Structure 1
Amino acid sequence: MQNLNFPSFNFRFKNSENKVSIFDEIRKKFIILTPEEWVRQHTVQFLLQHKNYPKSYLNVEKLIKLNDVNKRYDIVVFQPNGELFLLIECKAPEVKITQDTFDQIARYNLKLKAQYLMVTNGLNHYFCQMDFENEKYVFLEELPDFINKTL
C-alpha cells in the first residue's frame, strides 16, 4: 500500500483467499484492505496515538439515513455525554479532495451536528470547526488534542 502523510503505525494483517485484510481495533475484526480502508485505519491510529482520543469514543463505518437514503460515515468521535464531537470523511489517496467532498461531509453533518470535521485522502488533511450560527466551517491547522479540551 501507498505511503501516507501520517506517522508510521503498526498494523495487523492477514491474507485469506488472496485478499489482504487489516485489523480494525474499533470494529474488532479484519477488514479487506482497500486504499480507502488504508486511509481510514491510519486516521483511527492518528486519533488514538497522536490526539489521545479514547478508543471507546470512536465509531467506524456506521449507517445514517439522509433523505431516506442509506449512507455510511467513515469515523466519528463522541463526547462523554453522547454528542458528536468529530466527523471524518476518508477517501482513497488517488481521490482528489474537492468541493464535492466538503459538500458530502456537510450534508452528513446537517444530521449529525459534529463540532469538528476532518476530510482526508491520506495525503492531504483538512480540519474544520463548525460555526453553526453562521452556517459555515472555519478551517484549522490541526484537530484539538483530547487532553486540551473538555470532551
Structure 2
Amino acid sequence: MSFSPQSRVWVYQSDRKFTSAEENEILNKLASFTNQWKAHGNELLAKAEIRYGFFIILTVDESQANVTGCSIDSSVRIIKDIEQEYNVDLFNRFNMAYKVDDEVVVNSKEDFETLVNIKQVTASTIVFNNMVQTLSELETKWEVPFQNSWHSTVFAHLL
C-alpha cells in the first residue's frame, strides 16, 4: 500500500517504552481500527505503526477521502483507550524525546531543560518533532538535530 507524501500524520509519544507484547497488542488494535476507519461513510486509506517502542503514528492518505472532525475524534478515542489500558501518557506535549546512542529517551520538560543546561543534550542531539503533519515531514523533519528543531527556540537561552 503506497501513501502519498502529503498524507496526514499524527504522532503520539508514550512516556515509557512499550514491551514487545504490548506493542503487538496495540498494533493489532490499531490495525482493526484503521481497517474500518471511515469519514462520512467513506473508507479512509489509513495505517498505524509504532516506532522505537515509544511513538504511535497514524497515517491517512487523503487522496482517497478527507479526514473529518468525527473521524479524528474516533482516532483520539482509540488512543485514549490505549493510554488507559496500558497506563501510559500519550498526550503530554511536555515530554521531550531525544536519542542517546541511537536509544530513545523520554524526559519531562524540566529534566530535559536540566540536560540542556549541563550539556548532556547538545545542538547536535537528535530530538523528535512530533508536530509534523505530513508523511513527507515525518520522513524529513521528525528526527532532527536539536539546533534545527522547535526545541532550540524554546530552550535557546540555554545553548
TM-score, normalised to structure 1, is 0.31
The higher radius of gyration belongs to 2
Say which structure is richer in strand: 1
Say which structure is richer in helix: 2
TM-score, normalised to structure 2, is 0.30
Higher RCO (CA 8 Å, separation ≥ 6 residues): 2
